[in-house]
A and B are shown apart, each in its own frame.
Chain A
Amino acid sequence: MKHIKTLNNANLKNSAAKGGCGECQASCQSACKTSCTVANQKCEK
């Protein structure tokens, strides 16, 4: 494409279908304790 560069796989929908195992870290436990960002957590799978 000439006008658009896509930076990622845009796979959020696939992740919903096979996700939800619940093994990943609670986001608040990592560093924040007072605010919330979840997108920086890692998937355990």
Chain B
Amino acid sequence: MIDGLTEAVNRRESLVRRGRYVTTRMLVEVGDLAYLVEIEQGRIASVRRGPFVMPSWTFALRAPADAWSAFFAPVPQPGFHDLFALLKKRLLRIEGDLHPFMANLRYFKEIFAALREETHR
């Protein structure tokens, strides 16, 4: 499902503009599946699917597959509707150098919301 980030983000100009200061590599784990997401000035440059040998990344978002599925539901249930809701439920772990993530928190929340929207188009 994370593969869809490229199209979901890059076709939304205002979202790319919001992330114009974001150039980073994040690791997203959906259960056992790992994805490396390369972001250049707000645009998704690539999404690579693991497994990886010695991956380097700035920060990582990790949650069980069923938690992500609930998050990506068309109208998510309470507690699954936002990255911080998953964090509160201790389902999402956010680790690493969090400065780019927290300084651009609206951007990162919105790229995942965009992916949810895109999934149900």
A and B co-occur in one complex: no
B interface residues with partner A (beta carbon < 8 Å): none
A interface residues with partner B (beta carbon < 8 Å): none
